[in-house]
Amino acid sequence: MPVSVESWLGLTVAVMVAAGCSSGVAPGNGAVQNAAAAKQVTVKITGFQFQPETVAVSKGGTVIPANADSVPHTATPSPPGSFTATGLLAGGDRSAPITLSQTGTFGYACNFHPSMKGWITVVP
Ligand SMILES: [Cu+2]
């Protein structure tokens, strides 16, 4: 009998998140593509950084930037158009879920703090 792939992936991602998953994977080098992709990922914004900086999500899945800083931030795709920008996220605000409908690796940054960069890898 087939095991539910979805529940297995969900469990794997949960374990990775619980373990911190902070092995220093350089953004954009493709290593993250071997990780199980989640249907929904929360990116915490803290200390003027997106944490984790690189996330993997399955096509059609969602990413939720959550601003844990006290100052406003945005998560804005760069170049524009690869997904919907969050708009301004005040301190403590969470974005509405952003749907990723194309596969690939997409960069984003904060409009106010250009040094804040993150990447979303969308896998089939
Ligand atoms: Cu910012």
Domains of the chain with CATH codes:
5-23+35-123 (2.60.40.420)
Question: How far apart (Å, rounded) are the C-alpha atoms in residues 8 and 14?
Answer: 10
Q: Which residues surround ligand 1, an ion (CB under 5 A)?
A: 73, 110, 112-113, 116
DSSP 11-67: HHHHHHHHT---S-PPTTSSGGGGSPPEEEEEEEEETTEEESSEEEEEEEEEEEEEE
Q: When comparing pLDDT for 87 and 17, which is higher?
A: 87
The yes-or-no verdict on residue 34 having pLDDT over 70 is no
Distance 7 CA to ligand 1 centre (A): 34
Distance 44 CA to ligand 1 centre (A): 12
Distance 107 CA to ligand 1 centre (A): 15
pTM reported for the whole predicted model = 0.71
The average confidence (pLDDT) of the chain is: 82
pLDDT at 37: 84
One-letter identity of residue 21: C
Question: How far apart (Å, rounded) are the C-alpha atoms in residues 32 and 36?
Answer: 8
Percentage of the chain exceeding pLDDT 70: 71
